Amino acid sequence: MIAEKIRAILAQHARLTTDINTLSDASDLYDAGLTSLTTVNLMLAIEDQFDIEFPDHMLGRKTFGSIQALCEAVEELVG
């Protein structure tokens, strides 16, 4: 469920150069065209959608590097 929502957010905000439907949950989003600037859009959209706030230590590329990593971060923050 979280993964589906994250995929929808990615499709809308991440301006990926690769079709989101061809990516697995483990695919590298930066290889798929995510940039530092579009990561900001992605972060803000995820925070709004799930009503969470990423703490500073979770703002690195590790968290935003794949759908799977994003799901794990959101699950942790939603509690």
Partner 1 sequence: MSTTDALQESYQRYLNQLFDAKLLIPSGVKGVYGRSGTFENVIDQFEQYVTRQTRDMKPEVVRFPPVFNRQHYAQTDHIYNFPDLMGSVHSFMGREPEHAELLHKFQCCGDWAHDLDATEVMLAPAACYPLYPSATGTLPEGGRLVDLKSFVFRHEPSDDPARMQSFRMREFVRLGTPEQALAHRDFWLENAQRILKSIGLDVQPVVANDPFFGRGGRQMKATQRDQHLKFELVIPICSEEKPTAITSCNYHLDHFGSVFKINSADGAVAHTACMGFGLERICLALFKHHGLNISQWPESVRKLLDLS
| Site residues (vs partner 1, CB under 8 A) | 36-37, 39-41, 43-44, 47, 54, 56, 59-61
Cα separation values, 54 from 29, 46, 59, 76, Å: 18, 9, 7, 10
Residue 59 CB, nearest approach to partner 1 (Å): 3
Residue 53 CB, nearest approach to partner 1 (Å): 9
Nearest CB to partner 1, comparing residues 32 and 59: 59
Cα separation, 22 vs 63, in Å, equals 20
Q: Which two tokens stand for residue 60?
A: 């690195």
Contact 73, 36 (CB under 8 A): no
Nearest CB to partner 1, comparing residues 20 and 45: 45
Nearest CB to partner 1, comparing residues 21 and 66: 66
